[in-house]
């Protein structure tokens, strides 16, 4: 047999030490393991070039530098328990076995696993266990691991592997869609349910095929991800993105959202109408953002005048006796439930302590559907502050009176009768209210803002119901636009540093919010 020990020492010196690998244990292990014993017959003389080499099943033995680099990233120490996914030739596992006490390695191709097993035996490396199977699921019986090294690139860090890390444990994995280039990630488990992630730059690996990797038929034939087809199933994508969270009532649950503390908008969709658990989780996150991070707006997918009743309550403002009973419209359960009630009471208590009172957190509705409630609110406001203006407004809104109970029939009627009159009337009223707002800037703040917002809503709703009659997407877009603009008005009204938590389907405002300030979270 060729004596390649000189080449081996040279490889460690030239390709590893001089390229920045400093860990003594790693360098020593790489001086010891005969890489030539892990390449296919005929390739021995290339064993100490710093490059990958082909092995059976169309796979490769990793480049020595990358093996050393991954081990250094993983900070492997004597005494560690290490899992490797992608045994391949067995070379990396052999190197690891010279540093730590126990190595577990998984290979999906039985033939490769068997060859590697024979190599370890021949070399007398007895602290390596080899298994054939899908390494994306890890090796639960041997967990937890101090380090997990994945030698093939997947769509994301498999959840099972993250969960099999000990606290403080490190997972090293190449990740990315592009078969030519992926990112080498290090995921560190920092706590029972917390992880941190670092990116160590571009690399190129063979694909990780498995339940939490790629699908075999996508990639293996060509070795390329088809550019026109999704390469990951939805569960895979969700699996790659999710993080386990503590129980909702555990204080650590809401703390996990502190990372969004600096955002202007936190959108807690996608399920604005959900289960009790979802409502409690949403409330816990919102409480934390308000209490610890100064958020002062909760904007929800409820009608403006209805939410305004809650807003008056939580901000200790005057109850409006004229207002009709809020939250009557279907689906009433969406807001009339114990979880929302508990949150509302919490907010009222919290606000009690907030000084000055203008900094109290408010509760606002973004939606458009309670036109009659908005009309009543505008009239109520004007009756109190300007009875003459109230009389004019009453006349203008009178145009809509026949449809207030059943606004969805308005569109049809508007076709035949002179709807333009109605449109003109509500727009005039809206303009008047906005002019009043400018005129009285600074005075009567919350009350006038509420009334003006109702006037806006009536104008949007008039169009909405008219357009709805024709069907199609226009009315839907109109509603979404109204919701987003309402959010903007609330932010403007609450000042330059105002920050909002939004409880609405993200589709209503997420897109626009993203385009507006690229500052979207959640
Ligand atoms: N560590 C090896 C590198 C092997 S290349 C060495 O030093 O030579 C990556 C290996 O991962 C291939 O052998 C491939 O078959 C294997 N692989 C891909 N997906 C896998 C999966 N889900 N589970 C286990 N092995 C996998």
Which pLDDT score is estimated for 511? Answer: 61
Say whether 62 is catalytic. Answer: yes
Of 197, 232, 267, the position where a domain reaches its end is 232
Q: State whether 417 and 340 are in the same domain.
A: yes
Q: State whether 76 and 183 are in the same domain.
A: yes
CATH of the domain at 13: 3.40.50.150
Of 232, 259, 294, the position where a domain reaches its end is 232
State the distance from the centre of ligand 1 to the C-alpha of 179, rounded, in angstroms: 15
State the distance from the centre of ligand 1 to the C-alpha of 68, rounded, in angstroms: 17
Residue 302 three-state SS: strand
Q: State whether 313 and 457 are in the same domain.
A: yes
Q: How many folded domains does the chain comprise? A: 2
What letter would DSSP give residue 13? I
Confidence (pTM): 0.53
| 329: containing domain | 251-521
59 pocket-lining for ligand 1 (C-beta < 6 Å): yes
Q: Where are the beta strands (DSSP E) in 32-123?
A: 53-55, 59-61, 81-85, 102-107
Residue environment code for 327-366, b if the CB has 16+ CB neighbours within 10 A, otherwise e:
bebeeeebbeeebbeebbebbbeebeeeeeeeebbbbbbb
The residue from 17, 62, 357, 372 that is catalytic is: 62
424 pocket-lining for ligand 1 (C-beta < 6 Å): no
Contact (Cβ atoms closer than 8 angstroms) between residue 83 and residue 148: yes
Q: State whether 331 and 303 are in the same domain.
A: yes
Nearest partner of 454 among 517, 404, 381, judged by Cα: 381
| β-strand partners of 107 | 132
Q: What is the pLDDT along the chain (522 residues), one digit of tens a residue?
A: 567 888 899 899 888 988 889 999 999 999 999 999 999 888 888 888 877 888 888 888 888 999 999 999 999 999 999 999 999 999 999 999 999 999 999 999 999 999 999 999 999 999 999 999 999 999 999 999 999 999 999 999 999 999 999 999 999 999 998 888 899 999 999 999 899 999 988 888 899 999 999 988 765 434 444 333 345 567 776 777 788 899 999 999 999 999 889 889 999 986 657 789 999 999 999 999 999 999 999 999 999 999 999 999 999 988 876 667 889 887 888 899 999 999 999 999 999 999 888 899 999 999 998 888 899 999 999 999 999 999 999 999 988 877 777 777 777 666 666 667 788 888 999 999 999 988 887 676 788 999 999 999 999 988 888 777 666 677 778 888 899 999 999 999 998 889 999 998 877 776 655 444 333 332
136 pocket-lining for ligand 1 (C-beta < 6 Å): yes
106 pocket-lining for ligand 1 (C-beta < 6 Å): yes
Q: State whether 78 and 199 are in the same domain.
A: yes
107 pocket-lining for ligand 1 (C-beta < 6 Å): yes
State the distance from the centre of ligand 1 to the C-alpha of 84, rounded, in angstroms: 9
Residue 365 three-state SS: strand
Nearest protein CA to atom 13 of ligand 1, as residue: 88
| 240 within domain boundaries | no
CA dihedral sign of residues 164, 168, 171, 177? positive
86 pocket-lining for ligand 1 (C-beta < 6 Å): yes
Q: What share of the chain is helix, strand, coil (3-state, %, to 5)?
A: 50, 15, 35
Nearest protein CA to atom 9 of ligand 1, as residue: 86
In sequence order, what DSSP letters do the residues of 316-333 get, joined into one string? TPPP-TTSPPS--SS-GG
Q: State whether 209 and 262 are in the same domain.
A: no
Which atom of ligand 1 is least distant from the CA of 92? Answer: 7
Which atom of ligand 1 is least distant from the CA of 86? Answer: 11
Nearest protein CA to atom 19 of ligand 1, as residue: 208
Angle between helices 445-468 and 419-439 (to 10 degrees): 160
Q: State whether 107 and 214 are in the same domain.
A: yes
71 pocket-lining for ligand 1 (C-beta < 6 Å): no
Residue 147 three-state SS: strand
Nearest protein CA to atom 6 of ligand 1, as residue: 61
Of 205, 232, 259, the position where a domain reaches its end is 232
Q: State whether 435 and 485 are in the same domain.
A: yes
In sequence order, what DSSP letters do the residues of 207-254 get, joined into one string? B-BSTTSB-HHHHTTTSS--TTS--S-HHHHHHHH------TTSHHHH
Which pLDDT score is estimated for 218? Answer: 65
Q: State whether 191 and 265 are in the same domain.
A: no
């Amino acid at each position: 047999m060729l004596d390649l020990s000189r080449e081996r020492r040279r490889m460690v010196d030239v390709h590893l030490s001089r390229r920045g690998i400093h860990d003594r244990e790693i360098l020593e292990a790489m001086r010891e393991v005969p890489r030539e014993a892990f390449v296919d017959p005929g390739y021995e003389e290339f064993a100490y070039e710093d490059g990958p080499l082909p092995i059976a099943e169309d796979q490769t033995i990793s480049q020595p530098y990358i093996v050393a680099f991954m081990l250094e990233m993983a900070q492997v120490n004597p005494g560690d328990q290490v899992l490797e996914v992608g045994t391949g030739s067995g070379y990396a596992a052999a190197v690891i076995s010279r540093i730590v006490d126990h190595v577990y390695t998984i290979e999906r191709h039985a033939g490769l696993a068997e060859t590697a097993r024979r190599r370890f035996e021949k070399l007398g490396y007895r602290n390596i266990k080899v298994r054939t199977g899908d390494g994306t699921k890890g090796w639960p019986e041997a967990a937890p691991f101090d380090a997990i090294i994945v030698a093939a690139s997947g769509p994301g860090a498999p959840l099972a592997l993250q969960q099999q890390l000990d606290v403080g444990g490190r997972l090293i994995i190449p990740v990315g869609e592009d078969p030519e280039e992926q990112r080498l990630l290090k995921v560190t488990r920092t706590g029972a349910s917390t992880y941190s992630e670092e990116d160590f730059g571009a690399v190129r690996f063979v694909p990780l095929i498995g339940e939490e990797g790629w699908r075999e038929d996508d990639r293996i034939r060509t070795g390329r991800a088809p550019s026109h087809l999704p390469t990951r199933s939805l569960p895979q994508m969700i699996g790659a993105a999710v993080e386990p969270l503590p129980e909702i009532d555990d204080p650590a649950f809401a703390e996990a959202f502190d990372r969004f503390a600096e955002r202007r908008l936190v959108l807690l969709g996608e399920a604005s109408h959900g289960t009790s658990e979802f409502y409690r989780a949403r409330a816990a996150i919102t409480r934390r953002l308000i209490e610890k991070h100064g958020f002062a707006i909760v904007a929800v997918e409820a009608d403006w005048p209805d939410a305004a009743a809650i807003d008056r309550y939580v901000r200790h403002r005057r109850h409006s006796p004229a207002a009709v009973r809020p939250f009557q419209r279907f689906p009433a359960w969406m807001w009339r439930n114990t979880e929302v009630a508990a949150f509302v009471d919490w907010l009222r208590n919290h606000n009690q302590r907030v000084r000055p009172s203008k900094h109290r957190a408010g509760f606002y509705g973004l939606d458009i559907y309670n036109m009659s409630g908005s009309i009543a609110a505008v009239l109520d406001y004007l009756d109190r502050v300007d009875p003459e203006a109230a009389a004019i407004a009453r006349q203008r809104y009178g145009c809509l009176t026949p449809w207030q109970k059943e606004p969805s029939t308005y569109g049809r009627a508007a076709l035949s009768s002179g709807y333009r009159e109605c449109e003109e009337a509500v727009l005039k009223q809206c303009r008047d209210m906005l002019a009043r707002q400018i005129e009285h800037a600074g005075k009567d703040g919350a009350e006038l803002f509420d009334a003006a917002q109702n006037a806006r809503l009536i104008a949007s709703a008039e169009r909405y119901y008219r357009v709805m009659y024709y069907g199609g997407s226009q009315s839907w877009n109109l509603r979404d636009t109204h919701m987003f603009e309402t959010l903007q008005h609330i932010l403007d009204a609450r000042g330059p540093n105002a920050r909002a938590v939004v409880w609405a389907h993200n589709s209503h405002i997420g897109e626009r919010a993203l385009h507006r300030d690229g500052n979207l979270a959640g």
